[in-house]
Structure 1
Amino acid sequence: MNTIRSIIHPVLILVSGLVLSGLRSPGESGSSPPPAPLAGGLPTPLALGQKTPWSGTFSLVNGVLLKDGTPFYPIGFVFGTSDAELAQARAMGANAVHFDLGWRVAPGPGDVPDASFDQTRTTLRRAANWGMAAIPLLTGHYVPGWFSKKYPRAEHEPLGSDGKKTGSWFPYSLHSPALREHIPAFWRAAAKMAATEPNVIAVGAWNEPCYGGTWNRGNQFGEYSQWGLAAWREHLRATYKTLDALNRAHGTTFTTWDDVQPPRKPEEFNRRAWLDWMEFGQRAFADFFAWERTIIKEAAPSLLLTNKKQTNPWDRSTASSGTNWELMGRSEDIFGINLYSGSPFGTRNTLDAASSYADGRPVMIFEINSMPPSAEARTPDAIRTLLWAPLAGGARGMFIFAFIDKTEHGILGAKGANAAGRAEYTRLLTQISTHQRELASPRVAGRIGIIYSTTAALQSTGDLVPRYATGAFNLFRNSHYQVDYIPEERCTPDYLKRYALVVLPTATVLKPRETDAVQTYLAGGGRLWAFGDSLSRDELWAAQPPPAFLGLKDRKPPIGDRRNQQIGQVAPELESYFEGDCQISGVEMVSLVAGDADTILPGAEVRTATSGRVLAWNSDSYPTILQTSTGGRVIYSAFDSGNDAALRGLVEGITREIIGLRQEARFVSRATGITASAIITGLREDYKDPDTRYLIGINTAYRAQKVRLELPDGWKLHSETLHSLETNSDAFTLAPREVYLFTLKNNGKH
Structure 2
Amino acid sequence: MTFASWPTGGAISFGGDYNPEQWPREVWQEDVALMREAGVNLVSVGIFSWGLIEVAEGEFDFSWLDEVLDLLHAHGIAVDLGTPTASPPAWFFATYPQARVVAKDGTVLGFGSRGMASPSSPEYRAAAVRIASRLAARYAHHPAVVMWHVHNEYGAPVGEDFSQNAVVAFREWLRARYESLDALNAAWGTAFWGQHYTDWAHVSPPHPTPTVGNPAQKLDFARFCDHQLRACYIAERDAIRAHATQPITTNFMANECPTTDLFAWAREVDVVSNDHYLTAADERNHVGLALAADLTRSVAGGAPWILMEHSTSAVNWQPRNVAKRAGEMARNSLAHLARGADGILFFQWRASRSGAEKFHSAMLPHVGTSSRVWREVVELGGHLRALAPVRGARVRAQAAILWDAESFWAQDLEWRPSVDVRHKERVRAYYERLWRDGVTVDFVHPSQDLSGYRLVVAPASYLLRQADADNLTRYVEDGGTLLVSFFSAVVDEHDAVHAGGYLAPLRDALGVEVEEFLPLRAGDSATVRWAPEGGEPVTLTADVWQDDLVLHGAQVVGTYVDGPAAGGPAITRHAHGAGQGWYVSTRLGIDELAPVLAAVYTDAGLEPSGLPLDVEVVTRHGDGEDFVVAINHTADEVKVDLGAGQELLGATTVTGTVVIPAGSVAVLRTTTPQLGGDGQP
The answer on 1:151 being equivalent to 2:96 is: yes
Give the corresponding residue for 1:550: 510
Code of the residue aligned with 1:453 in structure 2: it is: D
Counterparts of 1:554-593 in structure 2, within 5 Å, are 554=514, 556=516, 564-566=525-527, 569-571=530-532, 582-589=540-547
Code of the residue aligned with 1:509 in structure 2: it is: L
Code of the residue aligned with 2:272 in structure 1: it is: F
Distance 2:621 2:230 in 1: 31
SS in 2 for 1:496: coil
Code of the residue aligned with 2:12 in structure 1: it is: Y
Tell me by how many angstroms 1:616 deviates.
Answer: 4.7
Aligned pair in 2 of structure 1 residues 654, 73: CA closer, same or farther (>3 Å)? same
| CA deviation profile, 1:628-675 (whole Å, cap 9, x unmatched) | 13047234242456651352x425522442321246xx4x3xxxxxx3
SS in 2 for 1:653: helix
1:391/1:682 contact within 8 Å kept = no
Identity of aligned residues (%): 20
Structure 1: give runs of 5+ residues left out of the alignment: 9-58, 214-220, 593-608, 669-674, 710-715
The CA RMSD measured in Å over matched residues stands at 3.4
SS in 2 for 1:380: coil
SS in 1 for 2:148: strand
* Equivalent of 1:678 in 604, 609, 614: 614
Aligned pair in 2 of structure 1 residues 423, 211: CA closer, same or farther (>3 Å)? closer
The answer on 1:379 being equivalent to 2:325 is: yes
Code of the residue aligned with 2:236 in structure 1: it is: E
Code of the residue aligned with 1:515 in structure 2: it is: A
Aligned pair in 2 of structure 1 residues 359, 641: CA closer, same or farther (>3 Å)? farther
2:401/2:458 contact within 8 Å kept = yes
Tell me by how many angstroms 1:74 deviates.
Answer: 0.9
Tell me by how many angstroms 1:107 deviates.
Answer: 5.0
Tell me by how many angstroms 1:333 deviates.
Answer: 0.9
The answer on 1:522 being equivalent to 2:483 is: no
Give the corresponding residue for 1:400: 346
Tell me by how many angstroms 1:683 deviates.
Answer: 2.1
Tell me by how many angstroms 1:256 deviates.
Answer: 4.1
Counterparts of 1:528-543 in structure 2, within 5 Å, are 528-543=482-497
Tell me by how many angstroms 1:736 deviates.
Answer: 1.0
Aligned pair in 2 of structure 1 residues 507, 553: CA closer, same or farther (>3 Å)? closer
Distance 1:337 1:586 in 2: 33
Aligned pair in 2 of structure 1 residues 567, 420: CA closer, same or farther (>3 Å)? farther
* Equivalent of 1:694 in 615, 627, 652: 627
Give the corresponding residue for 2:660: 734
| CA deviation profile, 1:297-322 (whole Å, cap 9, x unmatched) | 1121x1211112224xx24x62xx3x
Aligned pair in 2 of structure 1 residues 708, 191: CA closer, same or farther (>3 Å)? same
Code of the residue aligned with 2:616 in structure 1: it is: I
| CA deviation profile, 1:129-152 (whole Å, cap 9, x unmatched) | 222111122111443555444323
Counterparts of 1:275-314 in structure 2, within 5 Å, are 275-300=219-244, 302-311=245-254, 314=255
Distance 1:527 1:421 in 2: 46
SS in 1 for 2:645: strand
SS in 2 for 1:701: coil
Give the corresponding residue for 1:357: 299
Question: Runs of 4+ in structure 1 displaced over 6 angstroms?
Answer: 415-418, 558-563
Aligned pair in 2 of structure 1 residues 532, 500: CA closer, same or farther (>3 Å)? same
Tell me by how many angstroms 1:584 deviates.
Answer: 3.0
Code of the residue aligned with 1:480 in structure 2: it is: G
1:452/1:508 contact within 8 Å kept = no
SS in 1 for 2:394: coil
Q: Give the TM-score normalised by structure 1.
A: 0.76
1:364/1:396 contact within 8 Å kept = yes
2:387/2:649 contact within 8 Å kept = no
SS in 2 for 1:201: strand
Give the corresponding residue for 1:91: 37
Give the corresponding residue for 2:128: 183
Give the corresponding residue for 1:469: 427
Give the corresponding residue for 1:502: 456
Give the corresponding residue for 2:25: none
State the number of aligned residues: 626
Code of the residue aligned with 2:105 in structure 1: it is: D
Higher CA-based Rg:
1
Give the corresponding residue for 2:383: 431
Give the corresponding residue for 2:50: 103
Distance 2:473 2:654 in 1: 45
| CA deviation profile, 1:588-609 (whole Å, cap 9, x unmatched) | 35666xxxxxxxxxxxxxxxx8
SS in 2 for 1:628: strand
Distance 1:180 1:361 in 2: 31
Tell me by how many angstroms 1:619 deviates.
Answer: 5.3
| CA deviation profile, 1:129-178 (whole Å, cap 9, x unmatched) | 222111122111443555444323xx211212122246964442121121
Give the corresponding residue for 1:480: 438
Aligned pair in 2 of structure 1 residues 109, 705: CA closer, same or farther (>3 Å)? same
| CA deviation profile, 1:384-422 (whole Å, cap 9, x unmatched) | 333332223322212222222432224434579972332
Distance 2:311 2:600 in 1: 35
Distance 1:148 1:622 in 2: 62
Distance 1:645 1:248 in 2: 44
Tell me by how many angstroms 1:353 deviates.
Answer: 0.4
2:615/2:634 contact within 8 Å kept = yes
SS in 2 for 1:437: helix
2:532/2:599 contact within 8 Å kept = no
Distance 1:307 1:559 in 2: 41
Distance 1:120 1:126 in 2: 10
Aligned pair in 2 of structure 1 residues 532, 7: CA closer, same or farther (>3 Å)? same
Please identify, of 409-418 and 352-361, the stretch whose mean Cα deviation from structure 2 is larger. 409-418
Tell me by how many angstroms 1:211 deviates.
Answer: 5.3
Distance 1:563 1:622 in 2: 18
Tell me by how many angstroms 1:698 deviates.
Answer: 0.9
Distance 1:557 1:246 in 2: 29
Q: Give the TM-score normalised by structure 2.
A: 0.83
Distance 2:325 2:619 in 1: 26
Tell me by how many angstroms 1:622 deviates.
Answer: 6.3
Tell me by how many angstroms 1:540 deviates.
Answer: 3.9
1:581/1:646 contact within 8 Å kept = no
Distance 1:473 1:277 in 2: 29
Distance 1:574 1:743 in 2: 40
2:102/2:108 contact within 8 Å kept = yes
Structure 2: give runs of 5+ residues left out of the alignment: 21-27, 414-420, 676-680
Aligned pair in 2 of structure 1 residues 165, 573: CA closer, same or farther (>3 Å)? farther
Aligned pair in 2 of structure 1 residues 660, 66: CA closer, same or farther (>3 Å)? same
1:471/1:641 contact within 8 Å kept = no
1:159/1:224 contact within 8 Å kept = yes
Tell me by how many angstroms 1:240 deviates.
Answer: 4.0
Code of the residue aligned with 2:249 in structure 1: it is: T
Code of the residue aligned with 1:683 in structure 2: it is: T
Counterparts of 1:315-326 in structure 2, within 5 Å, are 315=256, 318=258, 321=259, 323-326=260-263
Distance 1:295 1:541 in 2: 37
Give the corresponding residue for 1:272: 216
Code of the residue aligned with 2:383 in structure 1: it is: Q
Tell me by how many angstroms 1:614 deviates.
Answer: 4.6
Distance 1:568 1:427 in 2: 52
* Equivalent of 1:744 in 652, 658, 670: 670
Distance 2:491 2:181 in 1: 28
Tell me by how many angstroms 1:356 deviates.
Answer: 0.4
| CA deviation profile, 1:50-78 (whole Å, cap 9, x unmatched) | xxxxxxxxx25xxxx562xxx33211132
Code of the residue aligned with 1:164 in structure 2: it is: T
Give the corresponding residue for 1:26: none
Give the corresponding residue for 2:649: 722
Aligned pair in 2 of structure 1 residues 641, 451: CA closer, same or farther (>3 Å)? farther
Please identify, of 541-550 and 132-141, the stretch whose mean Cα deviation from structure 2 is larger. 541-550
SS in 1 for 2:490: coil
Distance 1:148 1:243 in 2: 36
Tell me by how many angstroms 1:571 deviates.
Answer: 3.2
Tell me by how many angstroms 1:87 deviates.
Answer: 1.1
Please identify, of 629-638 and 86-95, the stretch whose mean Cα deviation from structure 2 is larger. 629-638
Aligned pair in 2 of structure 1 residues 187, 557: CA closer, same or farther (>3 Å)? closer
2:8/2:42 contact within 8 Å kept = no
Code of the residue aligned with 1:235 in structure 2: it is: W
